[in-house]
Amino acid sequence: MLEGLSTIAHAYVGATEHDARPHSHAIALAAAAKAKLVSVHAATSAHDDPAPGRPAHERLAAWGRADEPLEEEVVVHRCCDDPVDTVLDALKRVKPDLVVVGTEQRRGWQRIFGESRAEVLTANLDVPVLVVPRTAKGFVGSHGELELTRVIIPCGDRQSARAALDHALALVESAGVAEVVTFLLLHVGDGEPPDLDHPASVRVRIEREHLDGDIDRTLAEAADGASLVVMATRGHDSLYDELMGSHTERVMRLVHVPLLSVPLR
C-alpha cells in the first residue's frame, strides 16, 4: 500500500527531455509526502556514466520553494548491457514504495523493435508504478502543487477494483491533496459492476458510471480531462498478454493522462 510513503524512485534510464515531466511528478509527490526521492540512472559501460540530470532541489527552486527540505539521492547503476534491465536491477535494490517513469507509448512495430521501459517495470516490480505518458499534461502545477481533481478507477472484477480504489485513496491521503477529489468508478461492458464499499474520507467524492464499447479504448476516452487513472494488474497471465500486453499495459499506450499501475501478486 502507499500509506506512509517513505521512498519514491524516478526511473530515468537516460536523462532525456521525455523525463522532465515524470521527474516533476516524482519531486512533487516526494515533497508532498515528505518522502525520500531516489533518481535512478543506467550506466551501460565504464565510459557511460550519465550526469545527475535535473536535481530535485533545482526544480524546487524553480517552483519558488528553494527552502523546502527534501532528501534526495542520485543512483548511477551499472550491471547489464540493456539500460532498462539495469534500471530494473537498481530499483529492486532501492526497494521504493512507488516508482515514477515516463513512456513514449510505443505501439505496433515500435513495440517489437523498441522495448517499453514502463511496461517492463510494471510487469516486473512488486510496487505501484506511476506511468507518465509523453503526451500527458499531468497533475503537477506551475509551483509543484498537486492538482488531483478527478481519478478514473476501472471496476471489472472486485479484487482489481478494490486494490485500485485502496491505492488511490492512500495516494490522496499520503500526498495531502487539499481539494476534494472525485473518484469515478467506471464499469465498461457486460455484467454488473462489483459492489464496493469505501472508507469515509473528507478528501474524496465517489461517482459511478457504466459505459459500453471496447474496454481499452473506452477507458482511454473516458480518461480525457482526468488527472489520473488507477488500475490493478496481474501481469501477463495468458499467451495473449505475452503478445499484446496486459490490460493495464494496453490502456497505458492509449491514455493521455498519468496511470498508476497497482500490482496484484
- According to the model, what pLDDT value does residue 203 have? 80
The mean pLDDT of 159-183, rounded to a whole number, is 87
Residue 138: inside a domain: no
- According to the model, what pLDDT value does residue 215 have? 86
Q: Among 49, 47, 52, 43, which Cα is nearest to 19's? A: 52
Residue 189's domain comprises 150-263
- According to the model, what pLDDT value does residue 50 have? 55
- According to the model, what pLDDT value does residue 110 have? 44
Number of domains in the chain: 2
**Burial class of residue 65 in the structure, from the number of CB atoms within 10 Å of its CB (0-12 exposed, 13-18 middle, 19+ buried):** middle
Residue 176: inside a domain: yes
Residue 127: inside a domain: yes
- According to the model, what pLDDT value does residue 190 have? 80
Q: Looking at the structure, do residues 121 and 156 belong to the same domain, yes or no?
A: no
- Chain centroid offset of residue 223 CA: 15
- According to the model, what pLDDT value does residue 227 have? 94
**Burial class of residue 244 in the structure, from the number of CB atoms within 10 Å of its CB (0-12 exposed, 13-18 middle, 19+ buried):** middle
Last-in-domain residue among 107, 133, 159: 133
- Check which CATH number belongs to the domain holding 216 and give it: 3.40.50.620
Statement: the pTM of the whole predicted model exceeds 0.85: yes
Distance CA 223, CA 218 (A): 9
Q: What share of the chain has pLDDT > 70, as a percent?
A: 83
Each residue of 178-195: pLDDT tens digit? 778 999 999 988 877 788
